[in-house]
Amino acid sequence: MTLTRDPAPAGQQAPDGLVGKALRGPADRSPLGLVAVPLLALLGALVVGGVLMAVEGVAPLSAYGEVVRGVFGRTRGLVDTAVIATPLVLLALGITVAYRARVFTIGAEGQYIAGALAGTAWATVGPLPGLPAPVLVVSSLAVAVLAGAAWSGVTAWLQSRFGASVVITSLLLNYVAAAVLAWAVRVGMRDPGSFTPQSRQVGDAALPDLPGTAIHLGFLFALLAVPTVAAVLRRTRFGFRVEVLGANPDVLAATEARPSRTRLWVLAVAGALAGLAGFVEVAGVTGRMTQAFAVGYGFTAIIVALLGRLRPLGVLAAALVMAGITVGFDEAERVFVIPSATVGVIQALIVVFFVTGDALSRRRLRRREGA
């Protein structure tokens, strides 16, 4: 039976234009084609970023040299890169599962916050005080995973019950999560001994460092998640349903399962990984929650998933690159007068060049096939 890409069901319309084409998968699936467009997009963004820095009076080559030294020439450069890449990998893996099923959620940021809040609340003001540290860590992680899945499940329920767009509802739930975060650190689980709005320290729920390194245990979770998600997508019935749902929901309905149920599980998996990322960031990095906890990782992870070609190994590579850019520019900003928005501009340019390059690649492939 041939799988064709029919129009998306009501409430789950696929994006149009260049971004929609990029999300449907690369035109050239050869190893060279999979790598060429993301690499050229990155190089193009860096070139344009260099021009913008030159306009500001900064020598681009010197600035980029400092970026590289910030990652590879500094004691904590690689450590900071691994720490920043950890939530990006987990978030982007969830987005990868969703987008391969053509479930275009943009709610990873809200799920990330929900998981962090739930895990932190369990560890600090939970109903079972005095748990041994290992039990507290595991149970807090479990609570975060369930909270992220439940938060994402709201989107699936709204789509199934009312036909609401996953794109819109997942985006709006990000703002709801941000509002809950603001209330929680000011009222719900505020540290009574603090003058500023923040939660208590997670204490015994903090993640230890990997032996011999200054990298917290969450990085190992992210590394293990990469082959796990790859195996699930390649070798399980759920992975098969994800691919069929992305190709043609009608075929899934006729042969396997209800598309709405599979969509629910897809969103739950994406939310679970996002919730895990949230509490890993608290337990491994910040130690407590503040109103500034949400820094946009959920949105950056969409870029990571696209650059990784919706493939787990590609996601890992893209996350490390994006984290390295962030760490390197943080160091370069201390040496040169570079606007703090430079990293955001370069990330946006990467997306523009990526989707444009992918569209051009598709057009060239169609012309070749029509010749």
Q: Look-up: residue for tokens 């509002």?
A: 179
**Per-residue pLDDT at 30:** 58
**Per-residue pLDDT at 89:** 98
Q: How far is CA 67 from CA 38, 62, 71, in A?
A: 20, 9, 7
Ordered by start, the domain boundaries in the chain are 84-309
Q: What's the first-to-final CA gap in the chain, in angstroms?
A: 27
| CA separation for the pair 332, 95 (Å, rounded) | 31
Neighbours of 364 (CB within 10 A): 12
Neighbours of 315 (CB within 10 A): 31
The pTM for the full model equals 0.89
| CA separation for the pair 259, 262 (Å, rounded) | 5
| CA separation for the pair 139, 250 (Å, rounded) | 39
**Do 148 and 112 form a contact (C-beta atoms < 8 A)?**
yes
DSSP for 216-277 reads BTHHHHHHHHHHHHHHHHHHSHHHHHHHHHHH-HHHHHHHT--HHHHHHHHHHHHHHHHHHH
In 3D space, the residue among 263, 299, 90, 287 whose CA is nearest the CA of residue 178 turns out to be 299
Beta strands in 35-155 (DSSP E): none
**Do 311 and 126 form a contact (C-beta atoms < 8 A)?**
no
102-138, pLDDT tens digit by residue? 999 999 999 999 999 999 999 998 888 788 999 999 9
**Per-residue pLDDT at 7:** 42
Those residues of the chain that have pLDDT short of 70 are 1-33, 253, 255-256, 369-371
**Per-residue pLDDT at 252:** 74
CA 164-166-168 angle, to 5 degrees, is 80
**Per-residue pLDDT at 371:** 54
